[in-house]
Amino acid sequence: MKTRLLVACALLLALGCSQTPSQSLYQQLGEEAGIAAITDGLLHQIEHDPLIVGHFRDTDIPRFRRLLIEQLCELSGGPCQYSGATMEESHTGLHLTTRDFDRLVNHLITAMQQQKVPYGAQNRLLAMLAPMYPEVIDR
């Protein structure tokens, strides 16, 4: 329920926020270097979160980092092409909960804020990621 509320708020904010028409979401995220910095910030947050870090125990972190950068780059309209598995395939067997998902979203928001990503761009990205929720939870 909390996640749905967060997603609904993100969508409303995204619709209500003005955007600089001359900049794509990819550009607003800082292009590939900015997306890499956001990803690194997210990984730092995960590493220091005892409630979710265990889900990454068997993860090849350099590969995960590369794939997340590709995915965020592609989603935001950048020149990258995501080469990883589907969200459903990569999360099967992890038994992630809504709490886990919410914590990760909050860490992503923190990482974007640390990179000074405009709120409208943050909300646009979150709105693009929100449909992945059912592909990730309880797999």
Q: What is the CATH number of the domain that holds 38?
A: 1.10.490.10
pTM: predicted TM-score of the whole model, two decimal places: 0.82
What's the rounded mean pLDDT across residues 31-58? 96
Domains in the chain, number: 1
What confidence category does residue 2 fall into, taking pLDDT thresholds of 50, 70 and 90? low
Using the predicted structure, report yes or no on whether residue 8 has a pLDDT greater than 80: no
Using the predicted structure, report yes or no on whether residue 35 has a pLDDT greater than 50: yes
Give the burial class of 50: count Cβ atoms within 10 A of its Cβ; 0-12 exposed, 13-18 middle, 19 or more buried: exposed
Give residue 63's domain range. Answer: 2-16+25-136
Q: Tell me the percentage of the chain whose pLDDT exceeds 70.
A: 84
* Chain segment 72-109, per-residue pLDDT in tens: 999 999 999 999 988 888 888 788 999 999 999 999 99
Instruction: Say which residues have a Cβ less than 8 Å from residue 118's Cβ, sequence separation at least 6.
Output: 17, 28
Using the predicted structure, report yes or no on whether residue 12 has a pLDDT greater than 50: no
CA–CA dist 97, 102 (Å, integer)? 9
Cβ–Cβ < 8 Å for 67, 110? no
Q: Tell me the one-letter amino acid at 133.
A: Y
